[in-house]
């Protein structure tokens, strides 16, 4: 099993969610997060007052899928979230040792 | 249902008493040589044993030496009780222990107030009960103070409101703990008359809540006090009927909880009045705010002449305006007098106070507190009948925590606190400081969700319809109506854009400006959205949402600044706007920024057009009028070098303080300058002829018969406004904002003559001011200039040189 974690632009959430739904991925965890990539932060001036804008709002999507579906899912996220501009985000893939459904103790892919 | 619930409590208490007595007779009496008593305390002591509630026991021993012997028999005794399905919490104490103050365990002394004998030595129990009264008399003030402190903390945890969508009927304001508070205070207080009276007044709500709590515990099969949506459905079907609307049943709940909460607040007020501490007396410094109508004492307002204050809706509103101004609530007595005056609601309904009185009310810093008091006394729905539709209205939503009415008042509270507490978002606080029309903003917040009660399914339209009626009732002037309607109609726009649109895409800025046409409307809408999101629940405004909202605001603000110069009224638009009127009007309008039409009423445009006709005859047209507590200088003139600087200089040399300014031109080379200024020395107000003299001075300066430089030399230096901190000048320029002009964005410390010095520097640099937007907030000046030099943009070197010069002239002394 693989855990797929994607950091995307907030306005791309609906498109990514639809893309995942279309390929049958319904189980998702979504969080509002803030962070920055290589560009780091910048200073913003409003009415003469300086504000440090070092963390930009992003959306984090997490899902766990069977190994065989990893490429299909990452492709769906990537094509739905892409605008071609800096700040589109990143996708990370992790190995998952075990999954257990708390309700009935189903385990492995059965628990997904 | 209520009688059934009360009977079940009595039955359960009887059953538990019997079980405890039997267990004690079996496992304690035969094994203990020294006297002991098993007592009920807490809810069990009060015979308030709800299904599945724990039972609190006190095992009383004669002396410390007997405590060791009790340990083993006690464990057998408790096992029997647990085996009977009862959850027991026990403590073992001596009489001396119970009659000694435990600073860290005040709850012990509170629980002993409900002490009741169950089993064991009656004489030992009597020794305790005869010793306790002296203890409570000695520590009366301390215990009442602790109780009040705990209640205030508990109320604050629930945001001091009963209007939670899924309330805890035990802990939330208006719940059982408030009934207990009154009960305990009535047992503790030496002068208990007022508390007893409050307790008796809530006998009905107490019985109601008892039945509700019985239902919750039975339906959940555990000690559950949360009135969840699911349980609201069940209790509504059970209490009313299967098809009943749970929201209607919840209104019944809120009405009862509100009575309990008010009685608890009355008890807390009583506790405060008893407090003789020096700190308390120090806090009473606000007594100096007392007027001929109201007395301020112990942080409460008392009526001096109730007959006068309650004689008309307008004078009653003054009472609430006093609360809104100083943040001091009405005393219990004042509330009672207002609530019990049966004539007052009809007066608010038939002859509501005029808009000026409402504007004064909504402009104060503590409006939310005053609105809550108006709601509690029934006057808010009398003044605004549509309010009744959202009072105590539950609209189920995963994120919302409060009823619709409470959400709107909390949103106004967010604005109040934003203005008062520096720790709130610095950026939105800055926006609020720039906002002049806070009355319209707050009224829009009050009405923005009224449609949820009047027109579910399309609440925005419903709120607009309600607002239209409110405008008629309160005689709201057209300009405020337009602002409030805009805010209600667009109150969801920014929150949608911040999550659904790419905020880095210039198209998002263009989309927003198609909905939000001016900076002033954008600022108000951003503040309204900030308050609306923050009022959803205490954690709704996360740093994530705050950042997204600010980015949406910035995208729109940047685009509006660009459009100041690019979006002009073209020939076709001018003709269509002047259709059926003079063709000269079309020619007058052509070329002005589109903002001009969005920020001026038809009457103002007509007035400018009339002045333009005078300009065409005489070369210039100058007019000074009073404008909402300040003055407005309107000048129409043909373009000439340094025109705007001359106007600023003419005003500065007469000691006037420029608050706002706009300068723009049409396609025929007619310059329209609008400068709003204050007169700190009240020269114009006290000497009406001075207005004519100032108009004459301006005309002479424009014609060249008077020199600004000479006038400035004659000027007596006006005192600088006091300022806690200096604002260092910040100037930036952009050649990207417009195709033809250079944008200069300036912020710095305001001072008399600053704008004259800056515009003179701009003229001296050979620049022409194509458009200007000037604003001030306290001691800060915020100006946007669009400049050209030799008919085009400034090159990098010239712009940098001008920036340095502007910084130099604006540097605080």
Which among A10, A46, A85 has CB closest to B427?
A: A46
Close Cβ partners of B773 (under 8 Å, ≥ 6 residues apart): B519, B564, B661, B662, B783, B784
Cβ neighbourhood burial of B603 (10 Å; 0-12, 13-18, 19+): exposed
- Mean per-residue pLDDT, B533-547: 91
| Smallest CA–CA distance from A9 into chain B, residue | B502
pLDDT at B191: 74
- pLDDT over threshold 90, residue B308: no
Domains and CATH numbers, chain B: 2-138 (3.30.460.10), 142-275 (1.20.120), 602-810 (no CATH)
Residue B27: pLDDT band with limits 50, 70, 90 = confident
Close Cβ partners of B55 (under 8 Å, ≥ 6 residues apart): B16, B20, B40, B44, B49, B81, B86, B87, B88, B89
pLDDT at B772: 84
A34:B547 CB<8 A: yes
- pLDDT over threshold 60, residue B669: yes
| Smallest CA–CA distance from B497 into chain A, residue | A11
Residue B737: pLDDT band with limits 50, 70, 90 = confident
pLDDT at B436: 85
Residue B43, chain A, CB below 8 Å: the answer is: no
- pLDDT over threshold 70, residue B639: yes
Residue B68 and residue B54 in contact, taking contact as beta carbons nearer than 8 Å: no
Least confident of B442-446, B521-525, B735-739: B735-739
The residues in B 753-782 lying below 8 A from A, measured between CB atoms, are 780, 782
Residue B602, chain A, CB below 8 Å: the answer is: no
A contacts of B551 (beta carbons < 8 Å): 57
Residue A40: pLDDT band with limits 50, 70, 90 = low
pLDDT at A12: 94
Distance CA B167, CA B228 (A): 7
pLDDT at B387: 94
Higher pLDDT, A26 or B447: B447
- Strand-pair category, B620-627 with B630-638: antiparallel
- Residue with structure tokens 């560009």? A39
pTM, entire model: 0.80
Q: What is the mean pLDDT of chain B?
A: 88
Q: Is B400 helix (H, G, I), strand (E, B) or coil?
A: coil
| Smallest CA–CA distance from A87 into chain B, residue | B504
pLDDT digits over B83-115, tens only? 888 888 888 888 888 888 888 889 999 999 999
pLDDT digits over B272-297, tens only? 766 655 555 555 666 677 787 888 88
B contacts of A11 (beta carbons < 8 Å): 499-503
pLDDT digits over B430-449, tens only? 889 888 899 999 999 999 99
User: Sign of the CA dihedral B96, B100, B102, B107?
Assistant: positive
Nearest-CA distance from B547 to chain A in Å? Answer: 7
What φ, ψ does residue A34 adopt, rounded to 5°?
-130, 145
Higher pLDDT, B22 or B285: B22
Distance CA A99, CA A105 (A): 9
- pLDDT over threshold 80, residue B501: yes
Nearest-CA distance from B63 to chain A in Å? Answer: 52
Q: Can you name the CATH fold of A2-111? A: Alpha-Beta Plaits (3.30.70)
pLDDT at B640: 81
Residue A15: pLDDT band with limits 50, 70, 90 = very high
Say how far residue B586 (Cα) sits from the centre of its chain. Answer: 45
- pLDDT over threshold 60, residue B117: yes
Residue B1: pLDDT band with limits 50, 70, 90 = confident
Residue A50: pLDDT band with limits 50, 70, 90 = low
- Mean per-residue pLDDT, B630-640: 90
Least confident of B168-172, B184-188, B551-555, B706-710: B706-710
B748:A48 CB<8 A: yes
pLDDT at B154: 95
pLDDT at B279: 55
Interface test with B, best of A47, A50, A56 (most B CBs within 10 A): A47
B contacts of A35 (beta carbons < 8 Å): none
| Smallest CA–CA distance from A58 into chain B, residue | B544
B contacts of A34 (beta carbons < 8 Å): 543-544, 547
- pLDDT over threshold 90, residue A44: no
Report CA-CA distances (Å) from B264 to B172, B178, B694.
Answer: 12, 6, 61
From the list B594, B514, B503, B513, the residue with the least C-alpha distance to B559 is B513
A contacts of B748 (beta carbons < 8 Å): 48
Distance CA B201, CA B195 (A): 10
* Chain A, chain B: beta-carbon pairs less than 8 Å apart: 54
Which among A47, A57, A87 has CB closest to B547?
A: A57
Higher pLDDT, B652 or B424: B652
Residue A42, chain B, CB below 8 Å: the answer is: no
Residue B747, chain A, CB below 8 Å: the answer is: yes
Report CA-CA distances (Å) from B58 to B31, B36, B94, B143, B713.
Answer: 18, 10, 10, 20, 89
Distance CA B162, CA B409 (A): 13
Across A59-63, B51-55, B283-287, B421-425, the highest mean pLDDT is recorded for A59-63
Nearest-CA distance from A84 to chain B in Å? Answer: 12
Interface test with B, best of A10, A37, A54 (most B CBs within 10 A): A10
- pLDDT over threshold 80, residue B213: yes
Least confident of A44-53, B487-496, B580-589, B778-787: A44-53
User: Percent of chain B having pLDDT more than 70?
Assistant: 96
- pLDDT over threshold 90, residue A60: yes
B430:A34 CB<8 A: no
pLDDT digits over B450-499, tens only? 999 999 889 999 999 999 999 999 999 998 999 999 999 999 999 999 98
Report CA-CA distances (Å) from B729 to A3, B749, B771, B781, B783.
Answer: 52, 7, 21, 9, 11
- Mean per-residue pLDDT, B326-344: 90
Distance CA B293, CA B291 (A): 5
Q: Is B632 helix (H, G, I), strand (E, B) or coil?
A: strand
pLDDT at B600: 85
Residue B367: pLDDT band with limits 50, 70, 90 = very high
* Structural domain boundaries in chain A: 2-111
| DSSP conformational letter for B329 | P
pLDDT at B285: 63
A contacts of B503 (beta carbons < 8 Å): 11
B contacts of A88 (beta carbons < 8 Å): none
- Mean per-residue pLDDT, B45-66: 88
């Amino acid at each position: 099993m693989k855990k797929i974690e994607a950091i995307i632009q907030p306005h791309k959430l609906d498109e990514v969610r639809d893309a995942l739904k279309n390929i049958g991925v319904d189980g998702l965890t979504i969080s509002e997060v803030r962070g920055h990539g290589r560009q780091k932060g910048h200073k913003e001036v409003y009415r003469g007052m300086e504000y440090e804008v070092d963390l930009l709002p992003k959306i984090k999507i997490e899902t766990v899928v069977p190994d065989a579906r990893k490429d299909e899912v990452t492709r769906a996220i990537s094509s739905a979230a892409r605008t071609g501009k800096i700040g589109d985000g990143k996708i990370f893939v992790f190995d998952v040792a075990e999954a257990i459904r708390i309700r009935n103790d189903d385990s492995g892919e059965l628990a997904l | 249902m209520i009688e059934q619930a009360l009977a079940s409590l009595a039955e359960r208490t009887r059953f538990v008493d019997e079980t405890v007595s039997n267990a004690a007779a079996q496992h304690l009496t035969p094994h203990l040589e020294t006297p002991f008593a098993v007592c009920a305390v807490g809810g069990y002591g009060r015979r308030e044993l709800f299904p599945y509630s724990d039972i609190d026991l006190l095992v009383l021993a004669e002396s410390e030496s007997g405590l060791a012997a009790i340990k083993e028999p006690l464990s057998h005794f408790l096992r029997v009780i647990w085996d009977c399905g009862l959850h027991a919490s026990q403590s073992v104490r001596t009489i001396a222990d119970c009659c000694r103050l435990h600073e860290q365990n005040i709850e012990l002394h509170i629980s002993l107030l409900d002490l009741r004998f169950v089993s064991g030595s009656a004489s030992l129990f009597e020794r305790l009960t005869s010793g306790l009264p002296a203890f409570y008399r000695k520590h009366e003030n301390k215990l009442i103070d602790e109780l009040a402190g705990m209640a205030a903390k508990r109320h604050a945890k629930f945001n001091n409101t009963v209007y939670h969508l899924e309330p805890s009927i035990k802990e939330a304001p208006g719940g059982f703990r408030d009934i207990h508070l009154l009960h305990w205070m009535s047992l503790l207080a030496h002068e208990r008359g007022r508390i007893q009276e409050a307790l008796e007044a809530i006998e009905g709500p107490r019985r109601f809540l008892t039945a509700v709590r019985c239902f919750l515990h039975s339906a959940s099969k555990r000690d559950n006090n949360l009135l969840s949506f699911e349980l609201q459905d069940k209790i509504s079907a059970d209490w009313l009927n299967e098809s009943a609307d749970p929201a209607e049943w919840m209104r019944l709940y809120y009405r009862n909880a509100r009575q309990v909460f008010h009685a608890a607040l009355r008890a807390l007020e009583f506790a405060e009045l008893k407090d003789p501490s020096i700190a308390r007396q120090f806090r009473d410094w606000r007594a100096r705010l007392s007027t001929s109508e109201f007395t301020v004492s112990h942080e409460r307002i008392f009526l001096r002449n109730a007959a006068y204050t309650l004689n008309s809706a307008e004078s009653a509103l003054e009472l609430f305006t006093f609360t809104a101004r100083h943040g001091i609530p009405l005393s219990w007595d004042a509330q009672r007098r207002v609530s019990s005056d049966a004539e007052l609601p009809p007066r608010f309904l038939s002859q509501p106070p005029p808009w000026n009185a409402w504007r004064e009310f909504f402009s104060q810093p503590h409006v939310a507190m005053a609105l809550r008091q108006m709601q509690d006394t029934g006057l808010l729905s009398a003044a605004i009948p549509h309010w009744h539709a959202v009072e105590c209205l539950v609209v189920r939503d995963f994120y919302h925590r409060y009823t619709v009415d409470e959400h709107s008042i909390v949103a106004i509270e967010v604005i109040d606190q934003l203005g008062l507490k520096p720790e709130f978002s610095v950026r939105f606080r800055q926006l609020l400081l720039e906002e002049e029309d806070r009355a319209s903003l707050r009224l829009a917040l009050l009405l923005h969700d009224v449609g949820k009660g009047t027109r579910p399914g399309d609440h925005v339209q419903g709120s607009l319809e309600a607002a239209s009626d409110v405008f008629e009732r309160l005689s709201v002037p057209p300009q405020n109506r337009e602002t409030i309607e805009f805010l209600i109609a667009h109150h969801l726009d920014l929150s949608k854009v911040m999550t659904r649109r790419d905020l880095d895409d210039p198209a998002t800025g263009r989309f927003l400006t198609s909905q939000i046409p001016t900076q002033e409307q954008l600022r108000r809408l951003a503040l309204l959205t900030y308050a609306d999101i923050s009022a959803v629940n205490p954690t709704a405004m996360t740093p994530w949402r705050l950042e997204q909202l600010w980015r949406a605001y910035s995208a729109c603000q940047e685009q509006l600044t660009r459009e100041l110069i690019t979006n002009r009224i073209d020939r076709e638009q001018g003709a269509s706007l002047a259709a059926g009127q003079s063709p000269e009007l079309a020619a007058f309008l052509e070329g002005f920024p589109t903002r001009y039409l969005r920020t001026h009423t038809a009457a103002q445009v007509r007035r400018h057009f009339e002045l333009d006709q005078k300009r065409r005859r005489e070369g210039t047209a100058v007019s000074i009028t009073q404008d909402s507590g300040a003055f407005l200088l309107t000048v129409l003139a043909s373009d000439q070098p340094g025109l705007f600087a001359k106007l600023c200089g003419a005003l500065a040399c007469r000691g006037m303080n420029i608050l706002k300014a706009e300068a723009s031109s049409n396609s025929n080379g007619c310059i329209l300058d609008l400068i709003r200024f204050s007169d700190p020395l009240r020269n114009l107000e006290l000497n009406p002829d001075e207005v004519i003299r100032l108009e004459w001075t301006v005309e002479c300066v424009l014609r060249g018969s008077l020199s600004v430089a000479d006038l400035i030399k004659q000027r007596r230096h006006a005192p600088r406004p006091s300022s806690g901190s200096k604002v260092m000048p910040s100037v930036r320029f952009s050649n990207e904002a417009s195709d033809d002009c250079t944008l200069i964005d300036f912020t710095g410390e305001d001072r008399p003559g600053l704008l004259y010095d800056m515009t003179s520097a701009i003229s001296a640099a050979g620049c022409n001011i194509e458009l200007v937007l000037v604003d001030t907030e306290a001691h800060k000046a915020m100006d946007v200039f669009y400049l050209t030099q030799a008919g085009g943009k400034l090159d990098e070197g010239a712009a940098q040189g001008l920036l340095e010069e502007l910084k130099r002239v604006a540097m605080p002394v």
